[in-house]
Amino acid sequence: MYYPQKSEMCREMEIYGDYRLIQKNGRTGWNGVRMDSYIALHRHNLNEAQGSISIWFMTLEELCTSLRYENFRMNNPFFDNYAIISDNRERGNFHDAVFCINWDCGWYPQLCAKFFKGNIYPTGYAPEPKAIVAAGHCSLNREEWYQLVFSWNKPENRYKLYLNGILIGCSDCYTQGMKWEKAGEVLYLGNPTLCISDVALFKEEIKEEDVQRLFEEECVTKNEALQEELKRTYDDEAVRPFSWTCDSSWETKLSLPLNREEDLKHFYVQGAADSVHITDEGLLIDTPDHLPRHDNKAVDLDQMYLWTNQSFEGDLYVEFEFKSLRKGGLSLLMFQASGMQREDFMREYPLRTNGAMSTVHSEDVRNYHWEFFREMNDTRNDVCSQVVLKNPWFRPLGYHCMKKPLEREVWHTLKLLQRGGRIICVIDDTVMLDMEDNGFGNNGPVLSAGHLAIRCMVRTKMLFRNLKVMNQTAFETVYRSWERE
């Protein structure tokens, strides 16, 4: 049976600065206690066409999404970057490293590996694709040993990330080429939050089944609950059926087939207005078929939002069908979208006209957003990945991967049910995400009023039909001044 062979290069290591050795669950790790403590690895094979690296590490704190304020950078400008290994001795300086495996605490807590100098955005994706792979929504538990494996195959544009034998990140499946740069001669490891145990280099791209076997053989004490959580999040095959029947307390607020011209009067198009078309099959959204820009321009008219003119209040049920007609792209549902104090931002403020992502997460529009179709080059597009976030607090509520991508040229049914803080996301009567929001977690209240929007990014060609929206309210409105005679 083939088994990947470790390289002898990792024997050439030197330790600098103050450190300690920590033992936990049968494994010993090195912990550099100062920012200037590090391990230097003087030989590596990262500039070869293919290969792999394995690192066992433990974090002494929970690593998950955190807000970032500029005062946090007073003495450590890279406080939000946790480099696990880098070719830059200033490990947190992700930008100036060519090779780096880094964990970042931002909106999408990311474990990322790259082979180019610069940041993920815009350098990693524009103006040409670079050698990069990222595992979004990768939170790490405190005082748990993880085996990280990064494999690369540069000629085939294939880069993968594994945790504990489970594939958590894969580079863009649709790219025609990824540019890579030559890594520095020395690699550096060390961060006061991290303990580093075994480091191994391999001369070949380790296959997925061999990564799993490597983990099983090297794991000293397995945490079965952690393994199940990783599999459930990144490698799920389970089908959890959704069954819910509304009672008479639910009221239908909007019901449209979306194949009639008059249906368009119920919507406002923000951004690429010429991308929306009524067809016999349904409402077609066809955004420009080119790689996305990441230049943060104020005007972005190649992406769009389809807003309901109508606002909704209370518990919410949304249902529609969608069909993807082209590979690539991304579509999301924004719901409970209002101003920062529940005001109707579409009526009280000037209507927005650009299609940039900033309306979702970086302006004065509170909302939840569910990315239900994700085939962009900066998302995991080898599987069906789903994510829900709460904005503008940059708060992830749930992330999930099903093994197979959603089929194209096939109608899928989307259902969303929110009752109080509980949000259930369903595709084809399979529960994708089941989450709970909390109004007392420094991330704003549970959102319960606002508009809906379907947003499509560039490269998206998708049909929609049979939209239905229902509300259930816990109180009765007995008087409206704007309706007085």
- Delimit the domains of the chain by residue range: 9-234, 251-483
Nearest CA among 120, 82, 117 for reference residue 101: 82
Tell me what pLDDT residue 294 has: 58
Task: Using the predicted structure, report yes or no on whether residue 115 has a pLDDT greater than 90.
Answer: yes
Estimate to the nearest angstrom the gap between the alpha carbon of 230 and the chain centroid.
15
Share of the chain above pLDDT 90, in %: 83
DSSP 8-state symbol, 17: S
Looking at residue 2, what is its pLDDT? 42
- For 2-46, the pLDDT digits (tens) are 445 566 556 678 999 999 999 999 999 999 999 999 999 999 999
- What distance in Å separates the CA atoms of residue 452 and residue 301, rounded to the nearest whole number? 20
Query: Model pTM?
Result: 0.93
Residue-by-residue DSSP string for 218-266: H-SS--HHHHHHHHHHHSB----B------TT-EEEEEE-S-SGGGGGG
- Mean pLDDT throughout 182-204? 96
Model confidence pLDDT, tens digit, residues 452-470:
999 999 999 999 999 999 9
* pLDDT given at position 449: 98
* Overall CATH class of domain 9-234: mainly beta
Mean pLDDT along residues 328-335: 96
3-state secondary structure of 109: coil
Q: Determine the Cα–Cα distance for residues 168 and 107; give it in Å rounded to an integer.
A: 18
Average pLDDT over residues 151-162: 97
Q: Do domains 9-234 and 251-483 have the same CATH topology?
A: yes
Q: Indicate the CATH number for domain 251-483.
A: 2.60.120.200
Mean pLDDT value across the chain: 93
